[in-house]
Amino acid sequence: MMKRMIAGGLLAAGIFMGCLEVGAASAEPVQAEKGKVAVIFFSWSADGNTRFAAERIAAKAGAKLYEIKAEKPYNTNYRACCDEAKPECHGKLLRPIRKIDGLDLAKFDVVFVGTPNWWGTMAPPVRTFLMQNASALKGKTLCVFQTNGGGGMQRVAKEFAEIFPDSKILPAQAFTGKLVRKSVKALDKFVTDRVTLK
């Protein structure tokens, strides 16, 4: 009887600890004032998977939406774009980007950043944006989301967090690109799990 109680207790503790781990990954949503949330994204393909995710996330978060654009656009052909981006992604090189009209990061407390997964990492224009604005973003609550061709998160969340060692980083999420239009509920939950609007 005693043995069974101890075993039961250990099992309950294990389940509880498991829950804690899950809880830690999704944490409590942060409180954000309306108008103090921004969504900033880069999207390349004609399907606009990351654009779709970013638009939905911005709508749910009542956020301003901004697009990162490469100074010199990538080749519109998939294969050619992959070849063009490969050395940039592998070398963590910074692809020059255009100035984003009307963006004043000082106005925002929470910033969501959206990128396609390119060669396992963030698209170079996103890396450029983060590096160019690292000090303006430093004191904010940050969160990255990405869409991918099936590879999942890969190095995106890790490398994003590495750029901001002193910031509050909310859990990242990956969405499968070709399913993103069927993932509206998951996109909404992505927001509500992370931010509560005051």
Ligand X SMILES: Cc1cc2nc3c(=O)[nH]c(=O)nc-3n(C[C@H](O)[C@H](O)[C@H](O)COP(=O)(O)O)c2cc1C
Residues in touch with ligand X (CB under 6 A): 43-45, 47-51, 78, 81-82, 85, 116-120, 147-151, 177
Residue in this structure with the two tokens 């999207």, named with its chain if needed:
43
| Minimum CB–partner distance for residue 77 and ligand X (Å) | 10
Adjacent-strand bridge partners of 196: 31
- Beta-carbon contacts of 72 under 8 Å, excluding residues fewer than 6 positions away, are 96
Least Cβ distance, residue 45 to ligand X (angstroms): 3
Cα-based distances in Å from 53 to 9, 42, 99, 154: 43, 11, 22, 18
For residues 30 and 82, which CB has a smaller minimum distance to ligand X in the complex? 82
Q: Which two tokens stand for residue 161?
A: 């967090």
- Closest-by-Cβ residue to ligand X is 177
In the complex, minimum distance from the CB of residue 183 to ligand X, in angstroms, rounded to a whole number: 11
CA 156/CA 121 separation, integer angstroms: 5
Smallest separation, CB 54 to ligand X (Å): 8
Residue 181 beta carbon to ligand X: minimum distance, rounded to whole angstroms: 11
Nearer to ligand X, 156 or 197 (CB): 156
CA angle 167, 157, 126 (to 5 degrees): 85
> What would you report as the CA-atom Rg of the chain, rounded to the nearest whole angstrom?
19
Q: Which residues pair with 32 in a beta bridge?
A: 197
Which uninterrupted H or E stretch holds 95?
Answer: none
Q: How big is the chain, counted in residues?
A: 198
Alpha-carbon distance of 197 to 167, in angstroms, equals 20
CB of 44 or CB of 160, closer to ligand X: 44
Minimum distance from residue 107 beta carbon to ligand X (Å) = 25
Nearest to ligand X of 91, 150 (CB atom): 150
Which CB atom, from 34 or from 90, has the smaller least distance to ligand X? 90
- d(CA 174, CA 4) in angstroms, rounded, equals 41
Closer by beta carbon to ligand X, 81 or else 136: 81
